Structure 1
């Protein structure tokens, strides 16, 4: 018997008993069924609130085979680009009636595997993932693919063919534009600090850098090319190596803004004038690049656009899921744009 006491154990049967209605009517009212009168619906909602009724979404999901949840695995929440993408994804998914479960891999492959297993066990309707820099085996995502659950990889995506939708920035063009910009500013001795080549990001950015150098007839000094974790500490180590001899670069293209900002700090500490003696370009257009002095030239990746395209694509995939169309066969490429600032100025 319903007591009116607010507990999470109260069910549809308790609401039905309190209102002298059938459980079927209560269920339809709570699900906004069009055949339920507005007064009845309002009475049901009011009584549900009074009794402290909490809908069991998991049970509903088991009955309908849909949980209205989407899983998301990212490297780190603290990264500017991914933080912006997450915000857009969550807001846009909510408009379509989906909740988002956000998981952080900490750039650990083992953690990524565990998170994929957890989200699969949670019966998410779809999975979105930006993988670790070291992920080269994507077998831990196979269960989703094999069971027809849409999977979207963004930013950090499989290099080899995989039965999932890929959404990524035009990293080759971004690197080509940044390097060409440095060359147009008069630079001929350009260093490149990049990330590990296990990741598609740095494969593409390295290729863009090399292509720009080749297109402008400039040779690459391999001693000035680094492939490493793009941390502040590693950036300082690279800068020390670059400037420990008499032959030094006149420009640096960094594959992320953390490295570019660290290079600015190193230059200030060493009395190296930027941009007069050393021009610096980064990647991602982190807000810090606009407020440091001198402001850093960078490549805008448009994270909000990336997030919107992810949700638009996912909603389409979920709508077509019954027909077996759970992924796009061709990668979706998001354009990038060079943002020129004082770190490469010729004025």
Structure 2
């Protein structure tokens, strides 16, 4: 067979004809079988490139019941925490021979349902998902579970029992640490800007905030507790509401760093000195918190560790035989750490 212009419809049979080898040898060489000599493997790879051969992953998947692809659904790629998790997942999965299909729900439940259906139809071997803030019905993931495909929820996870692995940060502890730190720094009137209580994140962070306030016998002003989408605009609205009339809070715990940064900017505009008159703590340890003035105290979530734990779990579950479990019964808890900066400390 003469080797000319690349033909992306060429198959293993064409490579075999060109090299005068059996199709079985070509297949083994392309799959890095240990019994294939290195020279033969190199010849096969080189000829495959010349002919423009592309592996038909769908056909291979139908034969082996594996596609070596993993699906991932996240709220937004632009969020620092998720961007870091994605990078780690993709790099680590590649080391294990898996490709990653990344999908963005834009925090839309309907989009999340569509993406789950698309990934199921694509025959991914496993699904990783950080759900929307409004997801309370997880039935669109049932197909994966019923088919025996591991499902790993991380960060934003089901509150009720579900046959999937949960990998989450210790959000209760993170909120408790941040609020306790504000109290130890002298704050007695502490506000809390939180997210929707439909999400496990903000249920746990709200509980941690309340626990710290209760332990120190400090009153919670209901007018200073906000459960809303954690955007810059909403944070500015909350700050305006708290500081328009009467004495405002002397401490603020915000459930994300975007809100904490917005609070700092509002304080600067209104002449409220941080940390003297108002101390601010955020959540996630976004890189912006270290470069703003004053630098913001925040809770570190260790996104790279989250990504590593996800990959370790996926690989372990996919290595089980057909009778093995497809999920871990106990949640995998990721530790948190409070990073103290100038927004809460005058030292």
Q: Specify the TM-score bucket, using the shorter chain as the normaliser.
A: over 0.9
1:148, 1:324 within 8 Å by CA — same for their partners in 2?
no
Match of 1:255 in 2: 255
Match of 1:30 in 2: 30
Mapped pair 1:168 → 2:164: no
TM-score by length of 1: 0.98
2:3, 2:50 within 8 Å by CA — same for their partners in 1?
no
SS of alignment partner, residue 248 of structure 2: coil
Structure 1 Cα separation of the partners of residues 339 and 38 of structure 2: 54
**Dislocated runs of 4+, deviation >3 Å:** none
Structure 2 Cα separation of the partners of residues 16 and 4 of structure 1: 16
1:7, 1:51 within 8 Å by CA — same for their partners in 2?
yes
Match of 1:93 in 2: 93
1:2: how far off? Answer: 5.0
Residues 43-54 of structure 1 mapped to structure 2, 5 A cutoff: 43-54=43-54
Structure 1 Cα separation of the partners of residues 34 and 308 of structure 2: 31
Number of residue pairs the alignment of both structures matches? 347
SS of alignment partner, residue 53 of structure 1: coil
Structure 1 residue ranges without an equivalent (≥5):
none
Structure 2 Cα separation of the partners of residues 191 and 282 of structure 1: 12
1:314: how far off? Answer: 1.2
Match of 1:234 in 2: 234
Match of 2:184 in 1: 184
Residues 203-222 of structure 1 mapped to structure 2, 5 A cutoff: 203-222=203-222
Structure 2 Cα separation of the partners of residues 211 and 84 of structure 1: 30
Structure 2 residue ranges without an equivalent (≥5):
none
Structure 1 Cα separation of the partners of residues 13 and 262 of structure 2: 63
TM-score by length of 2: 0.98
Structure 2 Cα separation of the partners of residues 171 and 38 of structure 1: 51
1:2, 1:17 within 8 Å by CA — same for their partners in 2?
no
Structure 2 Cα separation of the partners of residues 321 and 245 of structure 1: 64
Residues 105-124 of structure 1 mapped to structure 2, 5 A cutoff: 105-124=105-124
CA deviations 1:193-221 (Å, max 9, x no partner) are 00000000000000000000000010101
Aligned-CA RMSD value? 1.0
